[in-house]
Amino acid sequence: MNNFVKKIYKITQKAEKWGKIMKIKNLTKFHISGLNQEKLLSQLCKQCPLSDIERNSKSDTTFKCSYFDHRKVEKFLKSKNVKIESVTHEGYAHKFFQIFTSYGLIAAFAIFSVLYVVQAQFVLQYCVIGLDKLTESEIVSFVKQEFPAKKSQINTKLVETALIDNFPRISFVSCIIRGQTLVLNIKEKLMPDEMYGSFSPLVAKKDGRISEINLISGTLNVKVGDFVRAGDILVEPFTIDTSGQVKQVEAKAEIVAQVYNEGSVDHYETYVEVVRTGRKVVQNDITLFGLSIYTFKEELNFQMYETEVEDVDLSKNLFLPFKMRKTTFFELEQHTVITKFEDVKDEFVAKAKEKALEKCENYQLMKEEFFTIRELAGVTIVNFCIVTEEDITCYDK
């Protein structure tokens, strides 16, 4: 370290000459006190040139010398038992050399270097490319489990072999370590769809009567004209060959059914309606950190009421978050409403149709629509039915 500093020192002494040319001065200012300073300065100037010598008082003097001579000057002054009041440095050379004496910085750099060297020996990232059916997480978890993270202990050939042995779907794999990343380039085997298709059965997603079947693969569980409920299995995910052997295949089919989409609305001849009268009472509560600071309440003498609460931030800072809770009480009153069904029949039928239409999703054809009315004691029920034709197949989850 010392030799290194000396070399740097020599280089910077050469740079000092260039610095002088470029008018960059690296000087050290000494403030000394003591007697007979004239003699001292006369002796000192024989060792190195001095500048800006200023006598502040009889015993106080300041002078400057080159930064590169300051150690020599300091040594000389100490040998003469001169009291050095202060030493200040000017220029870039001192700042540059300060780096080498900043032990905190050196320690931080050393710790950083050690940590960098240590962590550089480990694989920190895994990159898997070329995947189609396999997932990156299963490959990475396998490699992490089977092989150490230290780069020197990872044999890439062994990684390749282990992956091919443990994942039959992989046809080719190449493994390399780039920096701290383990890169796996994987090529998967090309297999027919049936081999890795979904082996769950096709089920009905709605109630209906089957009107058309177009089977692609699998075994049918229903026939045209059958009534099915939502969740019933329509196609099983297997086939049975002539030898009686069961073979797993992806269940695929287009099964169209007549679906009865119903919407129902009830009409009551007599019912109680609750409405707001328009009168209201407001209560305000100002809080800080959840504690109530000020409350304003009007007298509340409503027999029936409903409330609405609104929170408002009074200040837009987190230092004093004043909040106001405004509670409004609305007075309510009850009315008994009597209506005849015949007067509102069209309105209720339209409501029932609207409900039925909400259930009609992804239909291919709307076959017909009709409604029925059932009268009970005080209640009339309107049922509206829309018959559609649609594909009702979905995979069982």
Partner 1 sequence: MFNFFNEVKQNLKNSQGLELNGFNIINLSGHLLYVEGHLGLVTLSKELISFKVKNAVIMVEGSDMILSELSDNTIKIAGKIKKVEQI
Binding site for partner 1 (CB under 8 A): 37-39, 41-42, 45-46, 49-55, 61, 63
Continuous segment of H or E residues that includes residue 307:
strand 305-313
Give least dist CB 73 to partner 1, A. Answer: 12
What b/e sequence results for 288-299 when a residue is b if at least 16 CB atoms lie within 10 Å of its CB, and e otherwise?
eeeeeeeeeeee
Kindly state the smallest distance separating residue 88's Cβ from partner 1, in Å. 17
For 343, the token pair is 């007067």
DSSP β-ladder status, 291-297 and 305-313: unpaired
What is the amino acid identity at position 310?
Answer: E
Nearer to partner 1 by C-beta: 65 or 213?
65
We find the least distance from the C-beta atom of residue 61 to partner 1, in angstroms, to be: 7
Q: How far is the CB of 38 from partner 1 (least distance, A)?
A: 4
| C-beta closer to partner 1: residue 46 or 335 | 46
Measured from the CB atom, the residue of 84 and 164 that comes closer to partner 1 is: 84
CA atoms within 13 A on the CB side of 259: 26
Between residues 63 and 68, which has the closer beta carbon with respect to partner 1? 63
CB nearer to partner 1: pick between 65 and 204: 65
User: Minimal CA–CA distance to 88: which of 114, 119, 52, 138?
Assistant: 52
Exposure letters 303-341 (e unless 16+ CB within 10 A, then b): eebeeeeeeeeeeeeeeeebbbeeeebbbeeeeeeeeee
Q: Among residues 44 and 234, whose Cβ is nearest to partner 1?
A: 44
Residue type, 326: K
Beta strands 252-268 and 379-391 are antiparallel
User: Closest distance between partner 1 and the C-beta of residue 109, in Å?
Assistant: 40
For the bound state, the minimum distance from the C-beta of residue 97 to partner 1, rounded and expressed in Å, comes to 25
